[in-house]
Structure 1
Amino acid sequence: MIPGAHMHQDSSKPFKDPHAYRRLIGRLIYLTNTRPYITFSVNQLAQFMAFPTNLHYTAAMKVLRCFKGSPALGLFFPTNSIVQLKAYSDNNWASCPDTRRSVSGYCIYLEDSLITWKSKKQRIVSRSSCEAEYRALALTTCEIT
């Protein structure tokens, strides 16, 4: 997907086979286990499984095309890594155009190996970017604990 693009429910033509769209998104969700770089895009597309449009299906096909250009990309877990935990968190304040809620995300590494990650829309609307950052850090801290 285009960086900075956010999907939303619009008035474009509904996709003719919603069941096929749901199957495709389900398979993409499974692929996020070893290819975390598609997690945000798949998360955006999964929000419209009830009423997908042609625009959503086109975006899902673009995600599939990225696999064709990068078949060797994925997670690698070496056996000789040192036990050191590193965590990164970030958020995108009021990024959802429909609800104005922030999207928080984190990734946690055990040395150089990614062991967990998450991107999730916050439950409430944050009043400031500072409040949204605090919520993202709290979410990351809970996961580490």
Structure 2
Amino acid sequence: MEVNVKYRKDDGDKLIDPTLYRQLVGSLLYLTMTLLDISHAVQVVGQFVADPRCIHLSVVHHWAGYLDIGRSTTGWCIFLGDSLISWKCKKQQPVSKSSVETEYRGMFSACSEIT
């Protein structure tokens, strides 16, 4: 997603057939189970499923084109049996110096949630 761009529900022309938009967003929602770093972008485009516009469809087509600013993404899911009871996906505030530091930050966040 483009940085610092706000999307509104009534921007642009209405889609003639919103089926494609809904299918794409549904597929992206499914992908968020394994690709937690896209959760925010999918949540944003998911707000327009009821009445999608052309601009919203173009955002879905380019959902991976956001600027990477060097921060790592923390993501985890906590299950109780087969039920998801908590999850998180967030850009880490400090820029890590190594991938190990990134992993420790993620584990700390998950452990804090569990306790």
Under TM normalisation by the shorter chain, which class is it?
0.5 to 0.7
Distance 1:52 1:107 in 2: 28
Instruction: Give the match for residue 87 of structure 2.
Output: 116
Give TM-score scaled by structure 2 length: 0.57
Letter in 1 for 2:58: T
Shift of 1:38: 1.1
CA RMSD of aligned residues (A): 3.2
Give TM-score scaled by structure 1 length: 0.46
Instruction: Give the match for residue 9 of structure 2.
Output: 9
Report the CA distance shift for 1:22/1:143 in structure 2 as closer, same or farther (over 3 A). farther
Tell me, what secondary structure is at the counterpart of 1:116?
strand
1:64-107: CA deviations, max 9, x gaps?
A: xx39xxxxxxxxxxxxxxxxxxxxxxxxxxxxxxxxxxxxxx84
- List structure 1 segments (4+ residues) > 4 angstroms apart after TM superposition: 106-110
**Structure 2: runs of 5+ lacking an equivalent:** 66-73, 79-85, 91-109
Tell me, what secondary structure is at the counterpart of 1:117?
strand
Instruction: Give the match for residue 36 of structure 2.
Output: 36
Shift of 1:10: 2.4
Identity %: 29
| Preserved contact between residue 21 and residue 49 of structure 1 (Cα < 8 Å) | yes
**Higher RCO, Cα 8 Å, sep 6+:** 2
Instruction: Give the match for residue 54 of structure 1.
Output: 54
Give the number of aligned pairs.
81
